[in-house]
């Protein structure tokens, strides 16, 4: 729908103009249009350094879908192995096609992008495939694919440009390295892969690749899963090590270059296997040594930076963090300029999650145009790491709870569990794990819940609502567990970490 230019109010072309097609921007636009406001979205995300097109929906919405598809692909491979114990027999040995997976995921993302555009049209939101840049107060310049420019005015501007993977500024990274968003652009299986960084996206990619029988090494400059519960991170690390992932601890990437050696694609052995140049990686160890290794693929997962560097924030005085590009906002999601707001992963100091961005965008539109005063609650935001053994969490990590309330005022209830569907194939009994972090003096209120196991996010979702209502350990114990589901383990936690540690000490004596 070509947006008309004309007065929406006394002096502006639009009531609301959204720069960026992120999940939060889509939500605020649709809600505002439903409240009979004239709304325009400008979205023309630059392609990745490898030329990968970014679809409408922003970094979070599309990346989340890719993460889930890739996790499911690796889980299906494991399910095929398990199926023999359930009586299934196959005439031929299963094989995996990298190209078919990549094409199917990319086609689905394009289809979803088309659906989003049609949904915007139905809601009455105008959409332009153009880059937006703030050039003056209430004024945004739109530049389309052909380079044509037009100036538009709006009473309110919302920034929802999302984020993109960071690079390390080391020689050879732009030429030879990929990021998670480029993974499916490869026309061949990644083969032996080095994942640089211990972020959630790095571990997810490592888990996906090891699940497809590709050798994986994870290089950790610092700790694994910074910002997450570190005891849970250690359990994920242990599970990945058992699965075959190698770890290089406290190492830093120095250089990536093309090697003289060649290798065939892992996963496409035999006739027709493609031979290609390997990559020589130079890195520094924690004791100052310089080492080299060869890999087929080097994937950077070292964090993300907000896509705000070229949208004119500084021109009108919007304050942002120089190192990350993230925008400073108040409790109403308002920037330092009163008519400009920001939602989603471009916000500084706020958790980043697709569901949160959508919720925040909807509430913002209602505050602007329905005179609501409900603020988005940025506490107790659930998150999930889609490693093969899934990890979901809500609330405080054990470390943060100890720092906030004092270690003596925190009780941690925990338990290993064995999903029923794992019993026949005899998978490891001590892999799946849950813990509830409780604030003792506040009636043992549950301030953190952590689940590691199959479908952890789905298990956690209902408990998130309970935590919003002030869930206590007593209420958790009074909840009837649904047998034979795995979630019932959270309703019968009797062992505390203090008890477990005391038993370990006595056992060692």
User: 380 — alpha (psi -120 to 50), left (phi > 0) or beta?
Assistant: left
- Could you report the per-residue pLDDT of 66-79, keeping only the tens digit for each? 999 999 999 999 99
- Which CATH number is 390-508's, of 3.40.630.40, 3.40.640.10, 3.30.390.30, 3.40.50.970? 3.30.390.30
Query: Quick one: pLDDT at residue 501?
Result: 83
User: What residue spans in the chain does CATH classification 3.50.50.60 cover?
Assistant: 14-163+305-369, 173-300
| pLDDT of 13 higher than 90 | yes
**How many whole angstroms separate alpha carbon 427 and alpha carbon 48?**
40
Query: Quick one: pLDDT at residue 46?
Result: 61
- Mean pLDDT over 71-93 rounds to 92
Residue 148: burial class (beta carbons within 10 Å; 0-12, 13-18, 19+)? exposed
Query: Quick one: pLDDT at residue 48?
Result: 64
| pLDDT of 385 higher than 80 | yes
Question: What percentage of the chain exceeds 70 in pLDDT?
Answer: 92
| pLDDT of 270 higher than 70 | no
Half-sphere exposure of 270 (CA within 13 A, CB side): 3
- Mean pLDDT over 50-61 rounds to 68
Fold type of domain 173-300: FAD/NAD(P)-binding domain (3.50.50)
The DSSP code for 85 is G
| pLDDT of 479 higher than 50 | yes
- Could you report the per-residue pLDDT of 173-198, keeping only the tens digit for each? 999 999 988 898 899 999 999 999 99
- What is the pLDDT confidence band of residue 478, given thresholds at 50, 70 and 90? very high
Do residues 509 and 474 touch, judged by C-beta distance below 8 A?
Answer: no
Query: Quick one: pLDDT at residue 269?
Result: 40
**Catalytic-residue membership of 348:** no
Structural tokens at position 410: 């925190």
Q: Lowest-pLDDT range, 31-35, 44-48, 352-356, 445-449? A: 44-48
The DSSP code for 183 is G
User: What residue spans in the chain does CATH classification 3.30.390.30 cover?
Assistant: 390-508
- Mean pLDDT over 84-88 rounds to 94
CATH class in words for 14-163+305-369: alpha beta
**How many whole angstroms separate alpha carbon 482 and alpha carbon 464?**
17
| pLDDT of 51 higher than 80 | no
Cis peptide before 484 (omega within 30 of 0): yes
Q: Of 96, 212, 450, 483, which one is the catalytic site residue?
A: 483
Residue written as tokens 């922003």?
58
Query: Quick one: pLDDT at residue 424?
Result: 94
The secondary structure of 126-159 as a DSSP string is EEE-EEEEEEETTEEEEEETT--EEEEEEEEEEE
């Amino acid at each position: 729908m070509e947006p008309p230019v004309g007065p929406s109010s006394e002096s502006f072309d639009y009531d609301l103009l959204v720069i960026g097609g992120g999940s939060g921007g889509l939500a605020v636009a649709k809600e505002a249009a439903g409240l009979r406001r004239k709304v325009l979205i400008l979205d023309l995300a630059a392609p990745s350094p490898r030329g990968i097109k970014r679809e409408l929906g922003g970094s979070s919405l599309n990346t989340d879908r890719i993460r889930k598809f890739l996790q499911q692909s690796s889980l299906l491979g494991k399910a095929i192995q398990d199926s023999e114990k359930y009586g299934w027999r196959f005439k031929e040995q299963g094989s995996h096609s990298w190209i078919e997976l990549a094409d199917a995921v990319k086609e689905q993302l394009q289809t979803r992008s088309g659906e989003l555009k049609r949904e915007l049209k139905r809601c009455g939101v105008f959409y332009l495939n153009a880059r937006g840049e703030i050039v003056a107060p209430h004024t945004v310049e739109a530049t389309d694919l052909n380079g044509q420019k037009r100036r538009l005015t709006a009473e309110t501007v919302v920034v929802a440009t999302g984020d993109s993977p960071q690079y390390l500024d080391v020689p050879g990274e732009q030429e030879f390295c990929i990021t998670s968003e480029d993974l499916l652009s490869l026309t061949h299986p990644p083969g032996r892969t080095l994942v640089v960084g211990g972020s959630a996206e790095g571990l997810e990619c490592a888990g996906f690749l090891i699940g497809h029988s590709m050798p994986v090494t994870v290089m950790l400059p610092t700790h694994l899963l910074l910002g997450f519960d570190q005891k849970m991170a250690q359990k994920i690390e242990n599970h990945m090590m058992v699965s075959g992932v190698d770890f290089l601890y406290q190492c830093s990437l120095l250089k990536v270059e093309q090697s003289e050696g060649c290798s065939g694609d892992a996963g496409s052995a035999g006739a027709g296997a493609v031979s290609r140049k390997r990559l020589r990686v130079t890195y520094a160890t924690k004791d100052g040594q310089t080492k080299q290794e060869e890999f087929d693929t080097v994937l950077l997962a070292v964090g993300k930076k907000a896509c705000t560097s070229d949208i004119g924030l500084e021109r009108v005085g919007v304050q942002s963090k120089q190192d990350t590009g993230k925008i400073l906002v108040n409790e109403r999601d308002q920037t330092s300029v009163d008519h400009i707001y920001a939602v989603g992963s471009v916000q500084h100091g706020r958790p980043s999650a697709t569901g949160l961005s959508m919720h925040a965008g909807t509430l913002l539109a209602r505050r602007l145009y329905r005179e609501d005063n409900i603020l988005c609650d940025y506490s107790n935001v659930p998150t999930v790491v889609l490693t093969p053994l899934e990890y979901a969490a809500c609330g405080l990590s054990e470390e943060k709870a100890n720092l906030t309330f004092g270690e003596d005022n925190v009780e941690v209830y925990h338990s290993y569990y064995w999903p029923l569907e794992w019993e026949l194939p005899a998978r490891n009994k001590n892999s799946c794990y849950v813990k509830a972090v409780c604030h003792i003096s506040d009636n043992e209120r549950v301030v953190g819940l952590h689940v590691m196991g199959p479908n952890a996010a789905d298990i956690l979702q209902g408990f998130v609502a309970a935590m919003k209502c002030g869930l206590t350990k007593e209420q958790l114990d009074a909840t009837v567990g649904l047998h034979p589901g795995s979630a019932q383990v959270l309703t019968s936690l009797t062992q505390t970490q203090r008890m477990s540690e005391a038993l370990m000490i006595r056992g060692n004596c």
